[in-house]
Amino acid sequence: MLTLSVLDQTPIRSGGTAVQAIDETLALAQATEKMGYHRYWLAEHHGTKGLAGCSPEILIARVAAVTSSIRVGSGGVMLSHYSPLKVAENFSLLATMYPNRIDVGLGRAPGGDQLTSMGMAYGSQIGVEYYPAKVIDLKAFLTDSTPANASLASIKITPKPPVPPEMWLLGSSDESAKLAAQFGLPYSFAHFIYPEGAKATLDLYRDVFEPSDVLSKPQANMCVGVICAETQEEAEHLALSRKLWRLQLTKGELGPYPTPEEAEAYPYTDRERKVAESANKTGLVGTPDSIKNALEDLAGSHGLEEFMVVTITHDFGARVRSYELLADVFGLAPPETV
């Protein structure tokens, strides 16, 4: 049986507010925990009016506080911006407060535009090229392994949780797969960003994987965009918003998530319509049975047992319903009945 989990980007709806988006994140976490989803990851994005999740650590603390059993983590923390020591302290504290429930997923993407990224790095002489060393140092702080920088070896994290956070590397490229394999870490592939490269990248990760004190064999999951509804027509109507949002993203104008009606009324040029239609390649849109078949096909062809599902619709009820339909068709069990 496949394991299903959630990636939440904390989207701000057209006509809505960041406060509403955060309230919806908390409500969705509670709902999906009851449905039987395994993990709930929060994304990191900066400088956009369309996504409220600029600090996964803070959202993790809130989500973990209003849930009781679902694993909660980052999808991911953009480690290239930050000190590995501070990230280790944040997640060790979270793992102390919420034992055996915290994941730390790491990404290298900037999570925002170039100027915002420069602002995030203000005052630091450490560039993105140091990302692999930062991963090694973070792993060392969390697991008492050897850091990349030997001068950091005597640093001790406090508080030290009995069970360290589960550490994952996120990505959609050969380079990210090689790093996860080299460091013996679990790997989460972003199918919703780059579906064409999924199989080759996951195969590479498994082929070059080196056992570590964290993992003895490769472990991977895949993050897939999904919009599920009772009928194909309803699902495609909801997905109209995603197409316009995709266009906004390519233009660097990622505003609040539009309504289907706003998407229908948008005056697309021929070129813009082609860009918008490319959203079809990066997500699954359909009925419960069609989505189930598609995920099972992906699982079989890519050797996977877990999917992170990212679903955004303008109507929050439709978003919750999409996760509910998926849970029902896969026969997920609430924690109390497992």
* Residue 180 domain boundaries: 3-225+304-313
Say if 21 falls within a structural domain: yes
* Distance (Å) of CA 168 to CA 18, 76, 152, 187, 260: 28, 9, 22, 6, 35
Q: Length of the chain, please?
A: 338
Nearest of 180, 236, 230 to residue 208 by alpha carbon: 180
Number of domains in the chain: 1
pTM: 0.93
Say if 240 falls within a structural domain: no
Rounded distance between C-alpha atoms, residue 49 and residue 57, angstroms: 20
Say if 45 falls within a structural domain: yes
Say if 332 falls within a structural domain: no
Burial of 99 (0-12, 13-18, 19+ CB in 10 A): exposed
Say if 204 falls within a structural domain: yes
Say if 292 falls within a structural domain: no
Say if 221 falls within a structural domain: yes
Rounded distance between C-alpha atoms, residue 196 and residue 248, angstroms: 22
Residue type for 54, please? C
Q: Any idea what the CATH number is for the domain that residue 114 is in?
A: 3.20.20.30
pLDDT in single tens digits along all 338 residues of the chain: 899 999 999 999 999 999 999 999 999 999 999 999 999 999 999 888 999 999 999 999 999 999 999 999 999 999 988 999 999 999 999 999 999 999 999 998 765 556 666 665 655 656 567 899 999 999 999 998 989 888 888 898 999 999 999 999 999 999 999 999 999 999 999 999 999 989 999 999 999 999 999 999 999 999 999 999 999 999 999 999 999 999 998 888 889 999 999 999 999 999 999 999 988 888 999 999 999 999 999 999 999 999 999 999 999 999 999 999 999 999 999 876 44
Rounded distance between C-alpha atoms, residue 209 and residue 230, angstroms: 41
Say if 60 falls within a structural domain: yes
